[in-house]
Copies of this chain bind each other. A is one copy, B any other.
Amino acid sequence: MSGQLKVRLLDQPDAPRTAHPVHLKPLATLCSDCRVSGLCLPTGLPIHDESCLGALIGPRMRIRKGSALFNANDPLTTLYAVRCGSFKTSLNTAEGQGVVINFWMPGNVLGLDAIATEHHVCDAIALEDSEVCPVPYRRLQALARNFPVLQQSLNRLMSREIVREHERVLMLCNLTAEQRLASFLVGLSRRFVSRGYSAHGFLLRMSREDMASYLGLRLETVCRSVARLRALGILNLQGRRVEILDMPALMALEQGGGECEHKAP
């Protein structure tokens, strides 16, 4: 399986943006100097003990915008922790329909849904040039046997993913298009905050189509909902630049609120 993660460890030398001189030794991936380790697998490990995970995690991989980190039916060999950049995963049927299952940001761990069958269920596509830390699943299991906190951390990640999906189902069943959009943006905002970024201004990395798929809508409906929230003075969203002008209103919408009283101009 070592053949698996060959290319793009360092990628073509013609990296377009980061044309800095290249480190001579492929960077050992240290959780301790990773900005998002607190959200990731090592959460709760003693001072992010490198003796533990350090030995495990392979050299980080660069994934180009638009290319696949893995595809459905690929055998599960490694989980992937996002170090920087972002991804979408999507579940596709034979008939060509599909849905975006989730968007993934630094600190998120991809591939947990493949543990049951040992084969990936989703396609994972980079939404921008990104880097991931590969975590060989077998070795993670072995290591977790000796580090109960690590096992616990893994359990929690999986459980949280189940809860996340519960909430998504709730959204799909109970919320209108505008409420879904509000919920989505508030969710993104929270995720940015927990990574140290602004709650009110950020950049979407996914297309309207992807947003629509995630929200169980058509892209036209997403556009219209954006337009309506903009008209209400809650948002300033053009193209992929988001500015949240009235966070309380947005959060009220998200909570099935905003259906009772008619909007006053």
Q: Chain A: residues with CB nearer than 8 A to chain B?
A: 91, 93-95, 97-99, 101, 112-117, 121-122, 141, 144-145, 148, 151-152, 154-163, 165-170, 172-174, 213, 216, 255-257
Contact = CB atoms under 8 A, between A and B. Distances in A.
A93 B145 contact: no
Contact of A169 (B101, B112, B159): B101
Tell me the number of copies of this protein: 2
A115 B112 CA distance: 15
Given A114-B159, A162-B161, A256 B170 contact: no
Given A141-B151, A144-B151, 18 more contacts: A91-B167, A93-B174, A95-B256, A99-B174, A101-B166, A115-B155, A116-B162, A117-B159, A122-B166, A141-B148, A141-B152, A145-B151, A155-B158, A158-B158, A158-B159, A158-B162, A162-B165, A165-B165
26 contacts: A91-B166, A91-B169, A91-B170, A93-B174, A93-B255, A95-B255, A97-B174, A98-B170, A99-B170, A112-B158, A112-B162, A113-B159, A113-B162, A116-B156, A116-B157, A116-B160, A116-B162, A117-B163, A121-B163, A141-B152, A145-B148, A145-B151, A162-B162, A162-B165, A165-B166, A165-B169
**Which of A101, A154, A159, A170 has the most CB atoms of chain B within a 10 A radius of its CB?**
A159
A116 B159 contact: yes
A159 B216 contact: no
**Which of A98, A112, A122, A170 has the most CB atoms of chain B within a 10 A radius of its CB?**
A170
**Which of A148, A157, A165, A168 has the most CB atoms of chain B within a 10 A radius of its CB?**
A165
Contacts of A91: 166-167, 169-170
In the A-B complex, list the 4 residue pairs whose CB atoms are closest, starting with the nearest: A115-B159, A165-B165, A116-B159, A116-B160
Nearest to A172: B172
Nearest to A89: B166
B113 A163 contact: yes
Nearest to A99: B173
